[in-house]
Amino acid sequence: MAIVAASIAAVVIVADQVSKHFVVRDINVGERVDVIGPLQFTQTHNEGVAFGIASGGGILVIGLSLIALVALGAYLARGPRSKPVWVASGLILGGAVGNLVDRLRIDHVTDFILFPHWPAFNLADCAITIGVVILTWSLLSEAE
């Protein structure tokens, strides 16, 4: 089952980094491009964690990211039996690594998906959010 998590994480990392590459190449910082309906693409730089929280955290944010990755790795080392847990872990791991690559390479995370009344985010953030929802659902289902 670890191959499931690793494969999902790899797909998330590649999709996240490729999408950010095209955004940085094709959209100026602050520019907004209409996509469909209320969805727009933009280019913003996030120095904090999700949705700009703790902006300017720098090394602290990187440290917390690494601690979260180690904690997830330790959990996975216990070998959870549930396939949804492995899927969720792959999504969370891939998203965390995708954003960590940005932090280490360019000192901020590139966000680009924009909906009205919501901070910009990226594919890594989507993967982390979906992974947390699946993990929570799976763990709560096992507890019953």
- Would you please indicate which residues are annotated as catalytic (active-site) residues? 111, 125
User: Cα angle vertex 61, ends 55, 64, to 5°?
Assistant: 145
Amino acid residing at 110 = T
User: Cα angle vertex 94, ends 89, 50, to 5°?
Assistant: 95
The DSSP bridge pattern shows strands 32-36 and 39-46 to be antiparallel
